[in-house]
Structure 1
Amino acid sequence: MSQKQNRERQALIVIDVQEGFNDTAFWGNSSNPECEDKIETLLTVWRANDWPIIVVRHDSESPESTLHPSQDGNRLMSFIADAAPSLFVTKQVNSAFYGDPALHEWLQAHDIESLVICGIQTNMCVETTARMAGNLGYDVVVPLDATRTFDLTTTVPGLGTISRSADELMATTALNLQSGGFARIATTEKITASLQ
């Protein structure tokens, strides 16, 4: 297989880059302010080479969520809305593989074997999608600097209140994905350099 054919079988999946995630009053402190710039860099490379781009949008079922379809925050950020993707998927759960249309079926129909997965939130929909992609047999790379998330605090029975900063959650996602064999972690710069 030629290098060109290999590249055509590598899709960029951009997850939940929606206006609602800019609402810090709702979500709290976020990590990695360069996330959107890095995603835009990846999109530029994929567009220039006419490689497959998949855009995913989360349509929350909770009317109070900034990502509910009735909320302005459900909209994709402008640079994503203009992406002209090969496939547009909507979902109501963490994994993009449980969206509409069926992502796995589309990838198989287009002979796509490897994925670069980026977006928001690192430890939620990005990690869940990457884990499932790895389990399904795809070669997965996650450019961690093209993701971001938010500080998180919750009460867990038997453990009490647990808090983690957004940066800690990003690092844990990297550890989970790479050590678990679900995906390789890379930087946007390393990925784009390897594609030249």
Structure 2
Amino acid sequence: MPAESACALPQRPARPAPASLRELFTAFTLLALQGFGGVMAIVQRELVERKGWLTHEEFIEDWAVAQIMPGPNVVNLALMIGGRYFGLAGALTALAGMLALPLLVILLLAVAHQRFADNVQVAGALRGMAAVSAGLIGAAGLKLSVALKKNPLPLPACIAIAGAAFVLVALFKVRLGLVLLGLGGLGVALAWRRLAP
């Protein structure tokens, strides 16, 4: 057998990635313009399912890191993805995409809301959007649950940690930072223990 073929490693298919800073800026601008409340569902669909820039597992890991960092989760995620592909220039470009046009839209909406805030139809529409946002977040959570098959923790442990987090935050109003520190630390410790040789 030739020495070259003995040392050759199997080639992995090329991974989809943003081709340029312009594509990165455009992608995050469009994400930000779609993100009325339920942005996690939209980000997951666009970056994982449509563009393939992240796998389900990578998205969950990056989203978890983005949540424990200070600031808006999706902005943190944009910085991480931009930095991964283009370094500091990519991080700043993704950040600009997340903030530039949405800031203009928010300013225009704030002016419009100030003028029409007393309108009953406007108030009803805003309440309806909140319900849709909750549905989008729930749908994204269900879609991402398939990644638990590759999680080092058994499924019952994952469900127990998720259930405990829901109860602590939604019912007992425990601060999110404390829940992330406590249950997140527990999850990390259990996963590390199972992965240890």
TM beyond 0.5: no
If the length of structure 2 is used for normalisation, what is the TM-score? 0.25
More strand by share: 1
More helix by share: 2
Flag the structure with larger Rg: 2
If the length of structure 1 is used for normalisation, what is the TM-score? 0.25
